[in-house]
């Protein structure tokens, strides 16, 4: 148990920076690598530029560098079967098999999986033609939910207030091929009222443990307005979640989901992200499964995790989660995403980032890199979600104050962010 492990984290975003930081704190971590990493990650791990979906290249890298444990961050490599390729070469992997990753890579598979195992979710139709989409939409009322079945980097979900808007969203994908293969099949489903909740279920396919509850903020603009994004901020824990609600979620959602993985013989060793809608009467239903940690939820969850992250991933990868000593910190965390101009619709030119050191000096603050690059000794905003500013605190209010204090010290051309992360908690009359 005292042996140190050589670890590689696969991915390049803020989530992976948080994973690398958690690994770097681990007494069990020996040499630490990242593929491909980013300039922030490079301060804590040795980075190598490889194609993250090339299982053969990653397996060769792991053998060359005597890697004991691979932690796969994003969904793309998992859907491409990277975990299978590495396991076949004797590397322990924190991340599900390619078959297990279909729970995120195919919304059609995911919804049918829930239906087979009677896991509560929204009513839905699977559509491959405009005729099928028209029929499906006629069974629902506003707002209309139209989803690309395949992976679309968080940009394949359309919430349309009008029937014509929903038809147009379907038409853009099915006829206009806007999302390519990802949008060749659609899931059109019932809109669920209530409050969203993200749960990260760590499982080895048999045993499970829950990281803290968290809440993401998907819309680009304050007041939950504007287009959907990959996430503009998050906080943990969600203070409105009662023990009674968690008991119900475990009983009705989590336990049947983990049991179903076994029934379908899916090799699942990693994180099952369960996106939930909690109805006004307290009834939980699954909005979606993801097969990896959320981003930006990871950036608030891992700073609250008190245990040894490398040791946890090792236990999960070996199917031994039941014997891992589980501990989470009784603190709060909140993060704010700083995005580039044009996000999420368009790319923007690189711009130098100022104030990173001053922001990182604020008490309780860590700045995780996402869309950054290094150029002539300078850190540049390279587009998309650029930085994630995370703060911990004894209270959520303290964490929020620290995060926004740090945000105020950072600047780059075109920087945009939300000013109201955590508004659900701080506004008395929130839903």
What does the pLDDT look like over 208-223, one tens digit per residue? 999 999 999 999 999 9
What does the pLDDT look like over 296-340, one tens digit per residue? 999 999 999 989 999 999 999 999 999 999 887 789 999 999 999
- Cβ-based neighbour number of residue 349 at 10 Å: 13
In a domain, 206, yes or no: no
What pLDDT sits at residue 110?
98
What pLDDT sits at residue 348?
86
In a domain, 244, yes or no: no
E-strand ranges in 89-139 read 92-94, 124-127
* 92 & 18 share domain: yes
* 181 & 139 share domain: yes
* 91 & 35 share domain: yes
* 32 & 89 share domain: yes
In a domain, 150, yes or no: yes
* 91 & 129 share domain: no
What six digits make up the tokens of 140? 């629902």
Torsion, Cα 77 79 81 87, to 10 degrees, reads: 80
In a domain, 133, yes or no: yes
393: CB partners within 8 A, 6+ apart: 331, 332, 333, 334, 364, 399, 400, 401, 402
Which CATH number belongs to the domain containing residue 163 in this structure?
Answer: 3.30.1490.20
In a domain, 409, yes or no: no
* Average pLDDT, rounded, for the chain: 95
* 23 & 64 share domain: yes
What pLDDT sits at residue 103?
98
* 130 & 73 share domain: no
Range of the domain at 77: 5-97
Domain end point (choices 165, 189, 213): 189
In a domain, 293, yes or no: no
CA 323 to centroid of chain Cα atoms: 26
In a domain, 346, yes or no: no
27: CB partners within 8 A, 6+ apart: 308
Which CATH number belongs to the domain containing residue 25 in this structure?
Answer: 3.40.50.20
What pLDDT sits at residue 428?
52
Q: Do 135 and 115 meet the contact criterion of CB atoms below 8 Å apart?
A: no
What pLDDT sits at residue 356?
98
Domain end point (choices 168, 189, 210): 189
Domain end point (choices 140, 162, 189): 189
Pairing of strands 219-221, 144-148: unpaired
What six digits make up the tokens of 338? 């700083």
What pLDDT sits at residue 327?
82
pLDDT beneath 50: ranges in the chain: 1, 429-431
CA 288 to centroid of chain Cα atoms: 12
The H-assigned helical ranges of 146-282 are 163-174, 243-249, 255-263
DSSP letter assigned to residue 237: S
* 131 & 167 share domain: yes
Q: How many domains does the chain have?
A: 2
In a domain, 247, yes or no: no
Cα separation of 39 and 68, whole Å? 24
Cβ-defined contacts of 165-173 (< 8 Å, 24+): 166/137, 167/130, 167/133, 167/134, 167/137, 170/127, 170/130, 170/133, 170/137, 170/146, 171/130, 173/146, 173/148
Three-class DSSP category at 182: helix
């Amino acid at each position: 148990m005292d042996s140190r492990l050589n670890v590689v984290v696969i991915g390049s975003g803020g989530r992976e920076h948080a994973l690398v930081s958690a690994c770097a704190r681990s007494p069990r971590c020996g040499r630490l690598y990242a593929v491909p990493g980013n300039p922030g990650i490079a301060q804590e791990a040795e980075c190598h530029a490889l194609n993250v979906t090339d299982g053969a290249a990653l397996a060769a890298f792991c053998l060359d560098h005597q890697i004991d444990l691979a932690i796969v961050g994003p969904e793309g490599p998992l859907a491409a079967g990277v975990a299978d390729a590495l396991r076949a070469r004797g590397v322990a992997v924190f991340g599900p098999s390619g078959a297990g990753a279909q729970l995120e890579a195919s919304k059609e598979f995911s919804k049918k999986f829930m239906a087979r195992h009677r896991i509560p979710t929204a009513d839905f139709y699977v559509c491959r033609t405009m005729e099928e989409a028209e029929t499906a939409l006629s069974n629902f009322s506003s707002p209309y939910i139209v989803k690309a079945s395949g992976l679309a980097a968080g940009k394949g979900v359309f919430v349309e207030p009008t029937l014509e808007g929903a038809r147009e969203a379907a038409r853009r994908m099915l006829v206009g091929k806007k999302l390519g293969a990802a949008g060749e099949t659609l899931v059109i489903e019932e809109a669920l009222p209530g409050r969203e909740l993200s749960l990260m279920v760590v499982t080895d396919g048999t045993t499970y443990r829950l990281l803290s509850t968290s809440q993401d903020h998907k819309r680009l603009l304050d007041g939950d307005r504007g287009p959907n994004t990959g996430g503009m901020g998050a906080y943990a824990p969600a203070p409105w979640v009662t023990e009674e609600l968690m008991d119900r979620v475990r009983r009705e959602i989590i336990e049947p989901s983990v049991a179903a993985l076994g029934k379908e013989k899916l090799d699942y060793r990693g994180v099952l992200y369960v996106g939930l809608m909690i109805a006004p009467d307290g009834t939980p239903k699954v909005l979606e499964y993801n097969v990896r940690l959320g981003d930006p939820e990871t950036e608030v969850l891992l700073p609250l995790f008190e245990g040894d992250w490398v040791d946890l991933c090792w236990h999960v990868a070996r199917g031994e989660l039941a014997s891992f000593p589980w501990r989470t910190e009784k603190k709060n965390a909140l993060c704010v995403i700083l995005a580039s101009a044009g996000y999420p619709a368009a790319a923007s030119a690189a711009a130098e980032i100022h104030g990173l050191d001053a922001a990182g000096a604020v008490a309780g603050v860590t700045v995780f890199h996402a869309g950054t690059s290094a150029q002539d000794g300078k850190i540049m905003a390279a587009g998309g979600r650029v930085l994630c500013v995370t703060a911990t605190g004894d209270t959520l209010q303290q964490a929020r104050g620290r995060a926004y204090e740090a945000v105020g010290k950072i600047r780059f051309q075109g920087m945009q962010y939300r000013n109201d992360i955590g508004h659900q908690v701080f506004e008395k009359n929130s839903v």
